[in-house]
Structure 1
């Protein structure tokens, strides 16, 4: 027998939250019941009208109690990330109130931040009988699901590398100067908010994979290799950068195991196609490389439609990396509803590389 649609709430209707809401409104398996915003100007506004669509009968609220009164089965946590984990207290409160939370913020593997952080969030879920699950595309999909799956083709592994190429051509103009686009390399390194934010996510994925492979990361080193714009460049939102200012942020994180560079993640965040590397076939592209016996490489494109050669999803204008982050969260809803209280970790694939098969259970 088909069950009723899952009652879903969205916490934070920003760019990511809007992408989530658009998908929820079109899927028959889920029902939008509540939206929590932070802009008082939107309090009481119909969500459909907020998105420029027909009214849907759900109003945005800026009050947490009103938000929770809708009794959602799952809350999709898409609030703005300030790179300082300030959401911990609110998530603990919501879990203790008995509401399941799926977050696209860096909660994919809280143990990476320390056992005390993991224990606090887990205890909140147990207390309220609720589950916390973090997911997305990077981390959440590549280092936790796809990379370990690929290791099943290698009997020995020297390094696991992920490269992320993301176009910011569809990004809003508020976040880009905050990240340092249009400034100098010296200014970016003086106030590396983009590196701090990205590092919170990406190093979490490294720790997840290391721990689940039975390896211990000695240290993680970060380096920067930013690229200057060769000319004045603008994007659709109207944001522009002058020549010889930062047009691409490029960071490299390397995780060392026994003093060897076992894990590596490189990010290339570029303003538009002029700065897109020649080997990248589309705006949003990821490469996973397993150096081993044998070695493997997988390139993954995310586009609106391959068949129709569409760059964006026609009825969801969010950046594709955002859509590809929110869909794993929506797909996780049934598993989170069924899960035991506490923190739910992503499962490894059934078959994957083990550093020492003699220790396999």
Structure 2
């Protein structure tokens, strides 16, 4: 069994606790939390399980890493604290752990990552013999391994489009939804996530990674943005009221341009309520969210993935599949050489030993 730590217990961390507990090769040995109110609580409770796991949450990072865990799922957010997240990850890798995380956007395409992100990780690998694999929660597989796999089914491929279609009304991360993305703010408010160049900073690595796999040179990476206001005031279950006239939907694209045309596109269509921007793409059954890959060419191929978790919550389902990709890579990474890995390096494998496992 591989001693494994889950660091963070938010939307991603809850799913990570469940994924580690379910994996036959992994043993959950510690849960790290920042909120003092969570210290001492059982991991099963924090993970939304109906049973105790016998692992109490702690905020003592030093003690946990001094125990030399073989793996760490770093589930703390890096959205507003990238430097701190990088420092945490580097500390775990230097302690000899295999680390998997969605928190470090620049390392989605680790080969093209800025030196200020790549070099500290490589130094930690050399020092401690750990490894790092970064894949997104949007989810990463929907913007790399799935579209690349499906592209291989076509005779002629003109363009690859990856869509995330998401209703934020069920999401439990209010600060990000309201302030980072801008839902509920006046239309003249510029949220950080939508500021020029920020979408490319976050998703450009996945565009570059797909271009590398497809064997094409990018001319440029461009962005498009559209925003819609709410026609009526809406009340959400998790975040309360969003007033009419404030931002209620966002649609943007990060476009990889090849020979003058957008050929590799990551598109996000997000709403705070299904009634906003009804003419934009929506999940096929009117649910909370879906992930879709469209291969334009001959034949035209469309693959739509819907996932639910924590009841019928598709936002939690998207997180769960992203976490499944990360946690499912741990035993492969443990057997591999120490290093810095990306989605083209780490295979997506069957759920061996997990069929029928509770």
Q: Does the pair score TM above 0.5?
A: yes
1:69 to 66, 69, 82: 66
Partner SS state of residue 138, structure 1 = coil
* TM-score normalised by the chain length of structure 2: 0.84
- Post-superposition CA distance 1:296-334 (Å, at most 9, x none): 2222222359xxxx6248xxxx72221121111121111
Distance (whole Å) between structure 1 residues aligned to residue 346 and residue 2 of structure 2: 26
Partner SS state of residue 166, structure 2 = strand
Distance (whole Å) between structure 2 residues aligned to residue 298 and residue 51 of structure 1: 30
Question: CA 1:83–1:263 in structure 2 vs 1: closer, same or farther (change >3 Å)?
Answer: farther
Partner SS state of residue 327, structure 1 = helix
Question: CA 1:26–1:295 in structure 2 vs 1: closer, same or farther (change >3 Å)?
Answer: closer
1:82 to 61, 79, 83: 79
Partner SS state of residue 185, structure 1 = coil
Matches within 5 A, 1:156-235: 156-172=156-172, 173-178=174-179, 179-187=181-189, 190-193=190-193, 199-235=200-236
Cα pair 1:9 1:35 within 8 Å, conserved: yes
Distance (whole Å) between structure 1 residues aligned to residue 321 and residue 202 of structure 2: 16
Segments of structure 2 that go 5 or more residues without pairing to the other structure are 348-358
Deviation of residue 119 (structure 1)?
Answer: 4.1
Matches within 5 A, 1:237-256: 237-256=238-257
Deviation of residue 93 (structure 1)?
Answer: 2.2
In the alignment, does 2:278 pair up with 1:280?
Answer: no
Partner SS state of residue 158, structure 1 = strand
Cα pair 1:144 1:208 within 8 Å, conserved: yes
Cα pair 1:251 1:267 within 8 Å, conserved: yes
CA RMSD of aligned residues (A): 2.7
Distance (whole Å) between structure 2 residues aligned to residue 67 and residue 264 of structure 1: 41
Deviation of residue 104 (structure 1)?
Answer: 1.7
Question: CA 1:174–1:147 in structure 2 vs 1: closer, same or farther (change >3 Å)?
Answer: same
Distance (whole Å) between structure 2 residues aligned to residue 83 and residue 112 of structure 1: 22
Cα pair 1:138 1:201 within 8 Å, conserved: no
Cα pair 1:104 1:134 within 8 Å, conserved: yes
Q: Which residue in the other structure is 1:111 paired with?
A: 111
Distance (whole Å) between structure 2 residues aligned to residue 12 and residue 194 of structure 1: 26
Cα pair 1:108 1:139 within 8 Å, conserved: no
In the alignment, does 2:43 pair up with 1:38?
Answer: no
Deviation of residue 272 (structure 1)?
Answer: 2.8
